């Protein structure tokens, strides 16, 4: 039993210290390891396999909307980065600079991409000539570097993996439509696959992307009530096109500027999966994203026929599910706690008595419910259980979020909510940045978004009392 | 007709200037574009889609052998790079250095990975403790940077995409077995999927990887007779383990060093596909790797029913093949030459007369053979034609290679062959590096490999006349 306890005892409980619980889980579930480079993490097989599944499923959704993948260089010459004023101001302070290459000092230093707007614009200025060349719907999967002072696995690291889509369109309307379309692709993916409900909305001027006309965002609530910005989609209008000279000859023979968008989602979303679904035994992965969905654990595996039966179940289930047998020489108890720590949605316990009774014990990771299943019905029942788990995980996350969302009509209510009720606060705002700044200073909360689904919860700004223009979700954020 | 001609006329013929033909094809087939960063290329959708297919199929083959994917940081601290003496000597001259980050000069400069042996060793030294932790079979898909003076698309660029596998084993035998296993995975993939026959062998001491005990290689012959090193697999023995202190407690309770391997294949292989199979109309893609296998081109598409029929054929073929309809407003002739330039294996021409006769004209890209196919048999016949094309492309490449491989018994024969017969030269060698250097100086040819399949074509070194130890493939290389 000493062995069994070790794995779980090694993690701090989430009620005691959520931040430490998070760090313990990412390490004990072997998602990441720290590297010799400050602020850079190593994605180990368990962590990378989650990203591979995200990538595969998101990529298919992108391609359904006509997106094509490309790969751009990781370097941006300093002069190119500086072409769009707001953009360079936003990113220059946090980039890494290459100054030497091949033993020589470079004539112009190169930054490592913090994002690739400038490179895509440079490309588009070369390959877009006519309305026939539009739209361009390019995306790339790559890593980017942002020189962060404090880092946390998945949530904020100096280098991280992401995808960045960059599109160019003939009209402003088309660009706006694409910006929203991709936000919806993100939100649908997060809800349907990751079981994480999202608030969709627009960022305030203060919080929008450097160089964008409008930034749309999906915001999720973690188990501790904090917000996590999970994906963003930007409409650039023709700002970048003017800075980079991206023009096309339209059907009417007029030279016009293109309208552009960009949108990105990163390994940060793995942090959301952990912090929305995890518990004090470790990770809980939604079945649709779990690299292993079913772990078959033989009981008394030294007894004749047990391992063979376990492999037989694996073979049967492998037709429809991602399934493995834990046939190591560890004790069943240790195997259970590993399966729980790794968040594998279902374990199937099969021992001599089960074989005799032609049954197996199926244990759900999220509820720990033990379900005795006749072996005849195994495939069917496993499917049902995984479907139920996927659905109920989303339901629980939504219930948790709604239960931790409050409404504030006065500044007293607002401050009290932020201080004492972890979660989102819905409140009206006058759209004056001064109020946004004051709220941040007074409470550390920031505007998460101006949701597309507006509610009229008052007529005056929760901060200054002047006429309100919009309802905003506020919260403390990662 | 002027329009039709333009696309093909834009490329130099391969007989006239092979290097220029190559550059023209990569550009006109829209595989790459040049970027604002010297020596870095942009992989456009047509080029990246080939890499995606390579990645998907290779990754599946890796995973079948138990390999797991990870992601390591792109930065290597200078002190870490320096831990293995031969390795740092090999790579330090061609790395890029980051010296500033977040507005400040770094205390220790970071190189951008030219390869990641040092990072994997650092990780393994942290996570390998017991024989139970072995083997570790990790791989990553990423980009690496090597500061090259002269660059060519796919063949040599400052940044390129690749995969790098890094494994750690309990015994020397297991490491040697894995090194050869992965070389075979590469060779089989190249022959079965890319239709490129490979010579498998071992690199000489002079040509082996910096820090390796042995480097195995697969070498292909391009249409101009030059060699292209297409993939390598290295056995490190315990050299890196000793430098990085990677030890494990074995079953006998003794502390032992692990034995390691690494193996990599890059976007360079796309250069091989172009230079082995291409012709004066552009790219010719083997069906198994072609992002689009069939292009349906409607003839007189303004006539009633033509486009509908084209979409119907697309829908039927989409069940088993990657198929598109070119329904743009370009002329059929222009569409034909685009399909040919892009190397799409099959085009299907369908016009009013074909519809009336319940047939279509299928044109093979490689032989240009026109095959009239009854629409009833379409799926079946397309499958047959693609299979035949795949098989015959490999056969032709093998015939070409064998016809351009000569045997030299004397140094006169050797020099004559290198000077006048583009291709490989098989000749005996004494294993003395002085001869290897002299041959390079006299002829510019290098040793490609000591093939696993040895032949006895003489008893004395072709260069110095002393007793020979091994037969070597020599050739001029990219």
Q: Which two tokens stand for residue A254?
A: 């007029």
Instruction: Give me the long-range contacts of B440-443 (CB less than 8 A, separation at least 24).
Output: B442/B415, B443/B414, B443/B415, B443/B418, B443/B419
Q: Tell me the pLDDT band of A2, cut-offs 50, 70 and 90.
A: very low
Q: Span A187-200, mean pLDDT?
A: 98
**Which candidate, B287, B40, B31, B60, places its Cα nearest to that of B163?**
B60
Contact A40 B73 (CB under 8 A): yes
Q: Span A442-449, mean pLDDT?
A: 97
Q: Which two tokens stand for residue A441?
A: 């200073």
Q: Give B328→chain A minimum CA distance, Å.
A: 10
**Which candidate, A375, A345, A378, A380, places its Cα nearest to that of A363?**
A345
Higher pLDDT, B86 or A241: A241
Q: What is the pLDDT of residue B296?
A: 98
A96 → closest Cβ in B101, B122, B126? B101
In chain B, residues with a C-beta closer than 8 Å to the C-beta of A100 are: 96-97, 99, 109
Q: Which residue of B has its CA nearest to A110?
A: B37
B70 → closest Cβ in A43, A123, A143? A43
Other C-beta atoms within 10 Å of B436: how many?
22
Q: Tell me the pLDDT band of A92, cut-offs 50, 70 and 90.
A: confident
In whole angstroms, what is the distance from residue B7 CA to residue B341 CA? 8
A71 → closest Cβ in B36, B80, B161? B161
Say which residues have a Cβ less than 8 Å from residue B65's Cβ, sequence separation at least 6: B137, B181, B182, B185
Contact A126 B33 (CB under 8 A): yes
Pairing of strands A424-429, B255-257: unpaired
Q: What is the pLDDT of residue A6?
A: 59
Q: What is the pLDDT of residue B3?
A: 46
Contact B37 A110 (CB under 8 A): yes
- Indicate the SS3 state at residue A268: helix
* Predicted confidence (pLDDT) at residue B214 exceeds the cutoff of 70: yes
Higher pLDDT, B7 or B122: B122
Q: Tell me the pLDDT band of B5, cut-offs 50, 70 and 90.
A: low
In chain B, residues with a C-beta closer than 8 Å to the C-beta of A51 are: 71
In whole angstroms, what is the distance from residue A257 CA to residue B342 CA? 29
Q: What is the pLDDT of residue A4?
A: 46
Q: Span B442-446, mean pLDDT?
A: 97
Q: Which two tokens stand for residue B409?
A: 């018994």
Q: What is the pLDDT of residue A152?
A: 94
Give whole-number Cα distances, B388 to B195, B343, B358, B393, in Å. 12, 16, 24, 8
* Predicted confidence (pLDDT) at residue B149 exceeds the cutoff of 90: no
- Asked if A265 and A58 count as a contact pair (C-beta separation under 8 A), the reply is yes
Q: Span A368-374, mean pLDDT?
A: 97
Q: Percentage of chain B with pLDDT > 90?
A: 93
Pairing of strands A96-101, B96-101: antiparallel
Least confident of A175-179, A201-205, A261-265, B10-14: B10-14
Q: What is the pLDDT of residue A210?
A: 87
Q: Give A410→chain B minimum CA distance, Å.
A: 40
- Quote the mean pLDDT of chain B: 96
- Tokens 């990203």 map to which residue? A51
In chain B, residues with a C-beta closer than 8 Å to the C-beta of A338 are: none
- Asked if B141 and B159 count as a contact pair (C-beta separation under 8 A), the reply is no
The tens digit of pLDDT for each residue in A205-257 reads 999 998 899 999 999 999 999 999 999 999 999 999 999 999 999 999 999 99
Contact B102 A145 (CB under 8 A): no
Q: Percentage of chain A with pLDDT > 70?
A: 98
- Indicate the SS3 state at residue A144: strand
What is the pTM for the complete model shown?
0.96
Q: Is the peptide bond preceding residue A258 cis, with omega within 30 degrees of 0?
A: no
* Predicted confidence (pLDDT) at residue A7 exceeds the cutoff of 80: no
Other C-beta atoms within 10 Å of A374: how many?
12
Other C-beta atoms within 10 Å of B13: how many?
13
In whole angstroms, what is the distance from residue A145 CA to residue A158 CA? 5
Least confident of A167-176, A281-290, A462-471, B36-45: B36-45
Q: Span B283-297, mean pLDDT?
A: 98
Give the phi and the psi of residue A406 in degrees, each rounded to 5: -115, 170
Q: Tell me the pLDDT band of A3, cut-offs 50, 70 and 90.
A: very low
Q: What is the pLDDT of residue B38?
A: 86
**Which candidate, A328, A197, A271, places its Cα nearest to that of A18?**
A271
Q: Span A61-80, mean pLDDT?
A: 97
- Asked if A420 and A470 count as a contact pair (C-beta separation under 8 A), the reply is no
- Indicate the SS3 state at residue A77: strand
Say which residues have a Cβ less than 8 Å from residue B459's Cβ, sequence separation at least 6: B428, B467, B468
SS (HEC) of chain B: CHHHHHHHHCCCCCCCCHHHHHHHHHHHCCCEEECCCCCCEEECHHHHHHHHHHHHHHHHHHHHCCCEECECCCEEEHHHHCCCHHHHHHHHHHCEEEEEECCEEEEEEEEECCCCHHHHHHHHHHHCCEHHHCCEEEEEEEEEECCCCCCECCCECCEEEEEEEEEEECCHHHHHHHHHHHHHHHHHHHHHCCCCCCEEEECCCCCCCCCCCEEEEEEEECCCCCEEEEEEEEEEECHHHHHHCCEEECCCCCEEECEEEEEEEECHHHHHHHHHHCECCECCCCCCCCCCCEEEEECCCCCCCHHHHHHHHHHHHCCCCCEEECCCCCCHHHHHHHHHHCCCCEEEEECHHHHHCCEEEEEECCCCCEEEEEHHHHHHHHHHHHHHHHHHHHHHHHHHHHHCEEECCCHHHHHHHHHHCCCEEEEEECCCHHHHHHHHHHHCCEEEEEECCCCCCCCECCCCCCECCEEEEEECEC
Q: Which residue of B has its CA nearest to A79?
A: B36
Q: Tell me the pLDDT band of A139, cut-offs 50, 70 and 90.
A: very high
In chain B, residues with a C-beta closer than 8 Å to the C-beta of A97 are: 98-101
DSSP string, A419-474: HHS-SEEEEEE-S-HHHHHHHHHHHS-EEEEEESS-----SB-TTT-SBP-EEEEE
B69 → closest Cβ in A48, A69, A76? A48
Q: What is the pLDDT of residue A149?
A: 86
Q: Span B318-339, mean pLDDT?
A: 96
Say which residues have a Cβ less than 8 Å from residue A15's Cβ, sequence separation at least 6: none
Q: Span B262-269, mean pLDDT?
A: 98
Q: What is the pLDDT of residue B334?
A: 94
In chain B, residues with a C-beta closer than 8 Å to the C-beta of A69 are: 45, 48-49, 52
- Tokens 């198929």 map to which residue? B323
Other C-beta atoms within 10 Å of A32: how many?
23
The tens digit of pLDDT for each residue in B385-423 reads 999 999 999 999 999 999 999 999 999 999 999 999 999
Give whole-number Cα distances, B237 to A298, A367, B185, B215, B261, in Å. 37, 48, 21, 11, 8
Q: How far apart are the first and last CA of chain B?
A: 37
Q: Span B11-21, mean pLDDT?
A: 96
Other C-beta atoms within 10 Å of A36: how many?
17
Phi and psi based region of residue B253 (left: phi greater than 0; alpha: psi -120 to 50; beta: remaining): left
Say which residues have a Cβ less than 8 Å from residue B339's Cβ, sequence separation at least 6: B295, B297, B326, B347, B365
Q: How many CB pairs under 8 A join A and B?
A: 156
B45 → closest Cβ in A70, A80, A110? A70
Task: Count how many residues are written for chain A.
Answer: 478
């Amino acid at each position: 039993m000493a062995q069994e306890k070790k794995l779980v005892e090694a993690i701090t409980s989430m009620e005691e210290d959520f931040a430490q619980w998070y760090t313990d889980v990412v390490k004990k579930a072997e998602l990441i390891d720290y590297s010799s480079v400050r602020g850079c993490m190593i994605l180990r097989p368990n962590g990378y396999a989650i990203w591979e599944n995200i990538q595969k499923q998101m990529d298919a959704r992108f391609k359904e909307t006509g997106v094509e993948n490309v790969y751009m260089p990781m370097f941006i010459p300093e002069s190119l980065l500086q072409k769009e004023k707001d953009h360079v101001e936003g990113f220059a302070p946090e980039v890494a600079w290459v100054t030497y290459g091949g033993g020589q000092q470079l004539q112009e230093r190169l930054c490592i991409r913090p994002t690739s707007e400038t490179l895509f614009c440079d490309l588009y200025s070369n390959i877009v000539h006519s309305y026939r060349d539009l739209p361009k719907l390019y995306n790339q999967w790559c890593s980017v570097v942002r020189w962060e002072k404090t880092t946390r696995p998945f949530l904020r690291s100096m280098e991280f993996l992401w995808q960045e889509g960059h599109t160019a369109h003939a009209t402003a309307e088309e660009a706006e439509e694409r910006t929203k379309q991709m936000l919806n692709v993100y939100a649908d993916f997060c809800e349907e696959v990751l079981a994480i409900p999202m608030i969709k909305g627009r960022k305030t001027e203060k919080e929008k992307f450097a160089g964008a006309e409008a930034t749309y965002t999906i915001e999720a609530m973690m188990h501790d009530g904090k917000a996590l910005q999970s994906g963003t989609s930007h409409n650039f209008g023709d700002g970048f096109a003017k800075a980079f000279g991206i023009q096309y000859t339209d059907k009417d023979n007029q030279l016009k500027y293109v309208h552009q968008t960009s949108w990105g989602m990163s390994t940060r979303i793995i942090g959301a999966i952990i912090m929305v679904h995890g518990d004090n035994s470790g990770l809980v992965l939604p079945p649709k994203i779990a690299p292993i969905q079913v772990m078959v654990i033989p009981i008394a595996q030294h007894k004749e026929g047990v391992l063979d039966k376990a492999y037989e179940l694996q073979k049967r289930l492998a037709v429809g599910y991602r399934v493995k047998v834990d046939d190591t020489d560890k004790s069943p108890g240790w195997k259970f706690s590993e399966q729980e720590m790794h968040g594998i949605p279902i374990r199937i316990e099969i021992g001599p008595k089960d074989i005799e009774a032609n049954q197996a014990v199926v244990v759900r990771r999220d509820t720990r419910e033990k379900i005795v299943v006749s072996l005849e019905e195994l495939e069917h029942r496993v499917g049902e259980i995984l479907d139920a788990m996927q659905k109920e995980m989303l339901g629980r996350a939504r219930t948790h979020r709604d239960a931790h969302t409050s409404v504030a009509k006065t500044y007293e209510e607002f401050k009290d909510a932020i201080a004492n009720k972890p979660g989102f606060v819905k409140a009206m705002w006058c759209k004056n940045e001064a109020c946004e700044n004051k709220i941040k200073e007074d409470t550390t909360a920031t505007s998460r978004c101006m949701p597309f689904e507006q509610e009229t919860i008052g007529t005056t700004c929760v901060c200054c009392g002047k006429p309100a223009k919009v309802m905003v979700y506020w919260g403390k954020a990662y």
